[in-house]
Structure 1
Amino acid sequence: MLNNSPKFIEPAIASSLAWSVIGKKGNTVRTKVMGILNVTPDSFSDGGIYFSPTDALNHAYRLVEEGADWLDVGAESTRPGHQSVTSEEEWRRLQPVLKDLALHCPIPISVDTYKPEIAARALECGVSGINDVWGALHHKEMLQVVSDANCIYFWMHNRDSRPLGNGLAELLQETRSGIERCLSAGIARERLVIDPGIGFAKDTHQNLSALRILPHYTKLGQSVLLGVSRKRFIGEILSADVSDRLEGNLAIAAYAIMEGVEYLRVHDVKATVRVCRMLEAVQDKEDDGQQNGP
């Protein structure tokens, strides 16, 4: 248990359960599993289940026990067709949960919000990162809030109604532009994590294409976060409803780890941690001389 004053948890220190996996190009990346905590009544996967502060906190500490390296707490659904909530309502949902987690949670916490005023309040509570699904596209003040706090900023690729072009060259170019805006605003390069935004402004074909270009995305000079957990395109491919997509999630997680993705945002923490652990064991070259037979 931490002391009684909220403070940042330095991610490099706190992520003691992250797994070191060697990607195809030989670079060692510490894979961090980010557990999703939705304190909303309408999230596509688990809306309403953890809406009360008590249920939310119980689930948060369960994710910690399962091996999460980060907790990502959100109080406004970002599912297709979601109903926006006011800043006042979003904070009403977040405050009691963050107040407890800031005092007692042993791992870093990020808040999933695109509103600068919510980000500022959350940072005052002691969270370590902001996960912005709009990448400051609509609220440029977000970049200043994050820069002033010197916290981790999870920038996600998104766009309004314009369709994404073929080949996803636009995805790479818009991400490069986003990186430049963040750095120009004073966000330290080592505090910036980029996310290709799977499921946002992309159809199933484009989501798959975005996954195929992960080798290029991880070469943009920033750590990468990937969030595909239980998303619609997995259900379309596997003909599976939202509660039956674990195998699809884990297949993509394994692929992403091998391509150098550093953060995996997931609902199923325990299973994802096991995938990370298994990949680490397979690639542990120190075991090569300890064979027990075929």
Structure 2
Amino acid sequence: MAHTKIMGILNVTPDSFSDGGKYNSVEKAIKRAEEMIDEGVDIIDIGGISTRPAGYEEISVTEELERVIPVVKALNQFDIQLSIDTYRSEIAEAAMKLGATMINDQWAGLYDEKIFDVVAKYEGEIVLMHNGDGQRSEPVVEEMLLYLLKQANKAEMAGIPQEKVWVDPGIGFAKTREEEQEVMARLDELVATDYPVLLATSRKRFIKEMVDKDTKATERDEATAATTAYGIMKGVKGVRVHNVVLNARLGQSMDYLKENEYARYNLS
């Protein structure tokens, strides 16, 4: 049966929009990782620098290493895939040397193209997210597809196999709410590129405006789960979420329904 990958967010930062400061020590990070594993996570995505679109201060490479590397070392005790949410090749190299097998790059290799060589060297996976300055000369979906396909081709040219190159539509980045709605409605066009798609909507402003503009970040999990279900129906292969247990259970159920739907209509 097809299995939608659940990527659990582990921010070891003081300033991430939803959980900044909650897990910014090795002990807290270990405890949260254990919880996520019990809840059914497939990939733990460790972030040492806030990647929200605005309102954060970029830190040095040294500080990012000091936040991320002790956590990677500590989590190697668990039999779980580790991803690093970074756009810097130095961070990717240090983490993959210690056993991380995925890099989640919000700039899709545009900030630091050497990141492709690092991931290829360690035979890992990479997530390429659509980003930018919000200014565009063509419709958002068309631009997103061109952007991601161009960067995915660079990843493959560096030696990363296609099945290890994930693409993320970048909900919450460089898009108006109307553009995000169009991207969601046309997710199947991104799926049709044959690269595995990671959907990352968890607790973002897009979710806030779907339901109630006065909700706190931690009150947006059910609405996030609705986008998980919608994404799975559209064909995404993974979702990046804060609430692991809710989305893992939902993903398992959606996978079951899709599998049985497929079997029903393909009976000889």
TM-score by length of 2: 0.92
Aligned-pair RMSD on alpha carbons?
1.8
The alpha carbon displacement at 1:164 in A equals 7.1
Q: Map residues 1-294 of structure 1 onto 2, 5 A cutoff.
A: 20=1, 29-79=2-52, 80-102=54-76, 104-163=77-136, 165-166=138-139, 168-239=141-212, 240-283=215-258, 285=260
| 1:218-237 CA distance string (max 9 Å, x none) | 01021111100000121123
> What per-residue deviation string (whole Å, max 9, x for no partner) do you get for residues 225-267 of structure 1?
1100000121123122212111210110001111111111000
C-alpha distance 122-237 of structure 1, shift in aligned 2 (>3 A): same
Of Structure 1 and Structure 2, the greater helix share is in 2
Summarize deviations over 1:10-52 as a string: whole Å, max 9, x none: xxxxxxxxxx4xxxxxxxx421101100000000000001111
Task: Return the offset for 1:163.
Answer: 4.1
Give the counterpart letter for 1:40 in structure 2. T
Count, aligned residues = 260
Over residues 162-192 of structure 1, what are the superposed CA-to-partner deviations in whole Å (9 max), with x where a residue is unaligned?
2474352111111111121111222111211
Counterpart CA distance in 2 for 1:147 and 1:280 is 30
The answer as to whether partners of 2:6 and 2:241 remain within 8 angstroms in 1 is yes
Counterpart CA distance in 2 for 1:30 and 1:278 is 10
* Further displaced range: 209-218 or 232-241: 232-241
Bigger Cα Rg: 1
Contact in 2 for aligned 1:163/1:201 (Cα 8 Å): no
SS in 2 for 1:223: coil
Q: Give the match's secondary structure for 1:264.
A: strand
| 2:71 alignment partner AA | V
Structure 2: give runs of 5+ residues left out of the alignment. 264-268
Instruction: Give yes or no for contact 2:4–2:252 (8 Å, CA) kept in 1.
Output: no
**Does structure 1 conserve the Cα–Cα contact (< 8 Å) formed by 2:6 and 2:42?**
yes
Hey, what's the Cα distance between the residues in 2 that align with 1:120 and 1:160? 27
Partner of 1:37: helix, strand, or coil? strand
Gaps in structure 1 of 5+ consecutive residues: 1-19, 21-28, 289-294
Match of 2:266 in 1: none
Alpha carbons of 1:253 and 1:99: their partners in 2 closer, same or farther (altered >3 Å)? same
**SS of residue paired to 1:173:** helix
Partner Cα distance (2:29, 2:192) in 1:
36
Q: Aligned-pair distance for 1:75? A: 0.5
Q: What code does the residue aligned with 1:86 have?
A: S
